[in-house]
Structure 1
Amino acid sequence: MGASVSREPSIHQLRLYLTLCEELHFGRAAARLFITQPALSQQIRELEKRLGAPMVERQGRTITLTEAGQALLPEARAAVAAVDRLRRVADAQLRQVSGRLVVGTMGAEASMAHTRSVLGLLQDRHPGTTVQLVNLGFGDHMAALAQQEADVVFLRPPVTDDIELHHLATEPRVACLCADHPLASQNRLTLAQLSDIPVVDMPVQVPRLWWDFWAVDPRPDGSRVRYGPVVTDMESLLHTVAAGEAMCFLPTAAREYFPRPGVRYIDVVDLSPSTSALAWLRSRRSEATIQAIRHAAREATTRDFGVIM
């Protein structure tokens, strides 16, 4: 008897299909996937053959989804998401066994004295632990923990309930304004003086409780913040501020780490401070490598750090 051909679609084929569903165009989808259009078309035909149903109706390089394609789309998404979760959990377990720790950092946290102290103590106490540093943007600093793409993250709270923290240091926050704004000539400001200026906004995947704190929304008088353009990282944030499109509030360390032409940092007398923290998933707190860096953080703060003024 000849070898039977599997009728199960591969995860690779499902990923190609999901990209094609987003683009609805073979050429654009192929370019995004870094493959040729004929190769993509062949893979989609093979997927249809394995599933026993036409998934797309072809009109040149553009497509529409068939009834079967529409019905199977959420199942394809769920299958790919499940495999992605499986891979992340497996990678996390492998890191734990091998003593490798993926440490996420946000903004300038990797350069902060408390971060260097924690990582230095970790290496001193556990010289066999391998640390991989990963720089994270606004949209993924908490998601990296939830998806187990990072084991711990040095970040600025607040955080969601599934995350635990060890606070490392506290410092004031400052207003970040376009240097050409009339208020930029002041040495000190109040929140009331800033109430009419829009604040940069965050991508939808950023937990709102986090950005509400950083945007000071609502303000002490109960008024809501007016938002400006969405930014995804520190450089886009600073560019937006320098262009006069919006303002934001940042840790006072931004004066040292992010000086930029067209941007001015100003003290705000009635603005609450911010904290730096080491964060990890509550469900992973007992893992050996995470316990090791938690203990290093506790020792570092006991030995070296208090309030940054």
Structure 2
Amino acid sequence: MRLFLALGEELHFGRAAARLHISQPTLSRQIQDLERRLGVPLFSRDSRSVTLTDAGRALVDEARATVEAMDRLRVSAGQWARTLSAHVVVGTVGAEAAMPYTHAILEHLRTVHPALTVEIRTLSFAEHLVRLLSGDIDVAFLRPPVPAGVELLELATEPRIACLAADDPLTRRPTLSLADLGERVFVDVPPEVPRVWWDFWAVDPRPDGRRVRYGPVVSDMEGLLHTVASGQGICFLPAAARELFPRPGVRYVDVMDLSPTVSALGWPTGHRDRPAVRAVREAATAAMSAARWKQRPPL
């Protein structure tokens, strides 16, 4: 079904094979086998072109639904496998894996559930909410806001700061305002990122009602920092970035009217009582009762 959909989109055996990372003869054999099994031709081929037959066009939606259903089945099976094997998958984005509350919660989790294996996955900010909502990970240490369908336990708060190219004249000032940055281009994120999340980080719209001008699209922290260092855009980051992401060509500056950011543990709303999720939630609640990280600023 995946091969059929890819060829139906590309309408070219060479391009479809390259996209699927298989050889062209292998793709051709698989499509022929699928046509034999279904009993209808899916493509018309000649020396110059590939086109979908009427039957092929009629079956595209069914094939896509089949692939999506299998993806959901795989995710659900993975969730149950983790439950049965006492395994939990914890996602982290940005520098969350290095933060004191993350260490405290995971330490408490391992103490209370020594038989539970904990898998840490570092996620790009382009994928972390998608992976969480799909159930591919059980819980995530992240930064709100989040879209509908995700529940949160807030852990800590810290300021946000501006991240600018080192040669930007504004870096000579000790403190900036959002108005000072109003004309600067802001880095953007891929369309799969919920816009509510990036609108918060870009402060879009600004307090005076102006909309943000966006520039290059980035998917992860290193790409973001490289884009800023090359002068193609600016961004706002948690204050911990000063220590955790020092990079040549980048400077961090305080912004006096920039609202703070919250750190949180998140999980899909419908999964809150699954054993793996409940174990991490309870560990977080217990670790927060000590709240040792709240007596001092984050790193």
TM-score by length of 1: 0.92
- Residue of 211, 228, 231 corresponding to 1:241: 228
**Among candidates 166, 183, 188, match of residue 153 of structure 2:** 166
Can you list the C-alpha shifts for 1:140-162, whole angstroms capped at 9, x where unaligned? Answer: 11111111110000100001121
Identify if the C-alpha distance between structure 1 residues 102 and 269 changes in structure 2 by more than 3 Å, giving closer, same or farther: same
Whole-angstrom CA distance in 2 between matches of 1:53 and 1:66: 9
How far apart are 1:66 and its partner, in Å?
A: 2.4
User: Is 1:76 the equivalent of 2:63?
Assistant: yes
SS class of match (1:160): coil
How much does 1:34 deviate? Answer: 3.0
Counterpart amino acid of residue 41 in structure 1? S
Instruction: Provide Cα deviations, 1:173-195, integer angstroms capped at 9, x if missing partner.
Output: 00011111111211110000000
2:134 maps to amino acid: Q
Percent of residue pairs bearing the same amino acid type: 56
Distance of 2:9 and 2:245 partners within structure 1: 37
* Cα distance, 1:192–1:58 mapped onto 2, change above 3 Å: same
Alpha-carbon distance in structure 2 between the residues aligned to 1:199 and 1:278: 27
The structure 1 residue matched to 2:54, chosen from 40, 62, 67, is: 67
User: 1:48-127 to 2 correspondence within 5 Å?
Assistant: 48-60=35-47, 63-127=50-114
Matched, 1:275 2:265: no
CA distance in 2, matches of 1:86, 1:147: 11
- Give the aligned residue type for 1:192: A
- RMSD over aligned Cα atoms: 1.4
**2:250 counterpart residue number:** 263
SS of 1:210's equivalent in the other structure is helix
Q: Note the residue ranges of structure 1 that are not aligned, 5 or more in a row.
A: 1-13
Equivalent-residue separation in structure 2 for 1:60 and 1:283 (angstroms): 52
SS of 1:159 mapped into structure 2: coil
Return 42-51 or 188-197, whichever deviates more: 42-51
Partner amino acid for 2:211?
A: R
Distance change in 2, residues 1:62/1:305 (3 Å): farther
Structure 2 gap segments, 5+ residues each: none
Closer/same/farther in 2, CA of residues 187 and 105 from structure 1, 3 Å limit = same
Q: 287-296 or 52-61: which moved more?
A: 52-61
Aligned residue in 2 for 1:284 = 271
CA deviation after TM superposition for structure 1 residue 108, in Å: 1.1
Aligned residues: 296
Measure how far apart 1:28 and its partner are. 2.5
